[in-house]
Amino acid sequence: MSEEKNTNWIPEILYEESEEGGLSSHIPFIQVPPGENMPSMLFVFESRETGEFEPGPDGEELPVTELDLYQYANMNYLKNKMTWIEYDNLRFALGLEPIKTAAVKGAQITSNIKVAVEGDADGDALDRSHIKVDFNGNEIENTKE
């Protein structure tokens, strides 16, 4: 990752809407402007109503809310700053598989999609014996002909 710089850019968490209405995905995205980097950390407040009420400016009843601050780290940033043992321990603490296991499973999914799209009926999408991946999950050798 490139060096961090101080700017006035504030990330905005967005959700894509489908043409039929509603969300097309439950996974949000952040539109990063040119010259900016994806944040290494996001701070998000959780807001919960307590069930209590207090008088508002015009005497109306307003719900009382509690705010708790949470921090979310960019896993790519952490992967680049930690040893693979530290990174796998972090993944374990978050309930994720080791990076190498996840990379192999990701390669299997990609292969299944490729077989489905190309219609290769003779191909075995689950045969991963020819694929080797590095620590980052990138394919480093493809010996399948």
Listed by start position, the domains of the chain span 1-74, 82-145
More confident call, 60 vs 142 = 60
CB atoms within 10 A of CB 137: 16
Residue of 66, 27, 24 lying closest to 48 (CA atoms): 66
DSSP letter for each residue of 74-90: -HHHHHHHS-HHHHHHH
CB 83 within 8 A of CB 109: no
pLDDT at 89: 97
Average pLDDT over residues 129-145: 64
pLDDT at 52: 97
Which residues are paired to 7 by β-bridges? none
pLDDT at 22: 81
Average pLDDT over residues 80-92: 96
Q: Using pLDDT thresholds of 50, 70 and 90, give the confidence band for residue 53.
A: very high
More confident call, 38 vs 108 = 38
pLDDT at 1: 47
Strands 41-55 and 13-14: unpaired
Say if residue 11's pLDDT is above 70.
Answer: yes
Say if residue 6's pLDDT is above 60.
Answer: yes
